[in-house]
Amino acid sequence: MSSVQHTLTVELGNRSYPIYIGSGLLQQADLLRQHITGKQVMVVTNSTIAPLYLQGILNGLQRLGISGLQVDSIVLQDGEQYKHLDTVGLIFDHLLQQRHNRTTTLIALGGGVIGDMTGYAAAAYQRGVNFIQIPTTLLSQVDSSVGGKTGVNHPLGKNMIGAFHQPQCVIIDIQSLQTLPPRELCAGLAEVIKYGLIAEPDFFTWLEQNIDQLRQLAPELISQAIYQSVACKARIVAADELEHGQRALLNFGHTFGHAIETEMGYGHWLHGEAVGAGMAMAADLSWRLGWISHQQVLRIQNLLKAAGLPLWGPSQMYGKAYLTHMQVDKKVTDGTIRLILLQQLGEAIVTSDFSSDLLQQTLDQSLAV
């Protein structure tokens, strides 16, 4: 049975858009009608998602009865290792071959990699066309599909090439999580936990109480977790769309995490796994600065562990490698590394107010575990 359980709005003036959260929404093609403005649609997906959901989306679009609607699709290879400009070029090739004009709408059907690449293609094609996010992984549902960050990786740095380009809407079907491998589900929980750590201490406590059932995909609980996460992100994006201030807090754990992904090779560590380790490392540094207690660090570590996430980076990754990659992070200013750290549970700041010695101690601790 299809039903919208929650609707949120990302408030951005005339570029505001809805986020629909519910069950069976992939079968509810009418949600798409009001967000398709032209006569052309291109569905972008990957080789894992296509056999599961692509034909249903294509059939639903045809059933909308929009006169003269041209519906095309492209199936890309699956994996973070394909999130680069060459793959985006394939999307451009297909759009041009099928003669899509500037009124076309792209639909991103898949996880964060598909969403980021499709959004970037939409931002660049004919200097900007509309797109819709249909995220099918927990991580993309609670994080990357919302907020308009699009882009691709470079061998020297993750997400270093991109643009801000907001979608027309986001459609989150919690039933799609039933086909998600357990490892991917755990990776998504990292971003859920992040919201509790940076802004919602009561939500963090709720996660501690319900983490086992969330891993079992208890429908009401997973829907609530997604809603709480998305509501938090929507508020932050509305206040700081282009990340001049508050929005940077959403990168908690990501500077360490991106260093892990870049060093190990994209796709070897899932993004959420690297972020989980990065959050544990950021918590460790926050404790060394005297900002949070050791008991709070243990609570964070216990929740990450219960969510099936790593607490530290790869055993073979040394401090010099972290620092090399962290120097390429987008938050670096005038050669100074800035990190998101916790002043207390539920309150984060962007800061460079830490000594290199304390940062090195955290990196050394990662090797010692």
Q: Which of 100, 247, 325, 338 is catalytic?
A: 247
Residue 243 is a catalytic residue: yes
Do residues 194 and 271 make contact, with C-beta atoms less than 8 angstroms apart?
no
DSSP strands (E only) in the chain? 3-10, 17-23, 40-46, 70-76, 105-110, 130-135, 149-154, 157-164, 170-173, 339-344, 347-351
Residue 254 is a catalytic residue: yes
Q: What is each CA distance from 90 to 53, 61, 154, 165, 308, in whole angstroms?
A: 21, 23, 17, 19, 35
Q: Residue 31: CA atoms inside 13 Å, Cβ hemisphere, count?
A: 28
CA distance 159 to 163: 10
Residue 149 is a catalytic residue: yes
Residue 233 is a catalytic residue: yes
Residue 318: count of CB within 10 angstroms of its CB = 16
Q: Which of 258, 288, 325, 338 is catalytic?
A: 258
Q: Which of 100, 158, 194, 254 is catalytic?
A: 254
Residue 191 is a catalytic residue: yes
Do residues 270 and 81 make contact, with C-beta atoms less than 8 angstroms apart?
no
CA distance 216 to 212: 7
Residue 146 C-alpha from the chain's centroid: 8
Q: Which of 83, 233, 288, 338 is catalytic?
A: 233
Report residue 242: phi and psi, to 5°: -100, 15
361's tokens: 């101690």
Judge residue 182's burial from the number of C-beta atoms within 10 Å of its C-beta, 0-12 exposed, 13-18 middle, 19 or more buried.
Answer: exposed
CA distance 7 to 9: 7
Residue 84 is a catalytic residue: no
Q: Which of 83, 271, 325, 338 is catalytic?
A: 271
CA distance 299 to 296: 5
Q: Which of 83, 100, 149, 288 is catalytic?
A: 149
Q: Residue 100: CA atoms inside 13 Å, Cβ hemisphere, count?
A: 30
Q: Which of 241, 243, 261, 273 is catalytic?
A: 243
Q: Which residue has the tokens 């499709």?
A: 118
**In 3-state terms, the chain is what percent helix, strand and coil (to 5)?**
50, 20, 30
Annotated catalytic residues are 127, 149, 191, 233, 243, 247, 251, 254, 258, 271
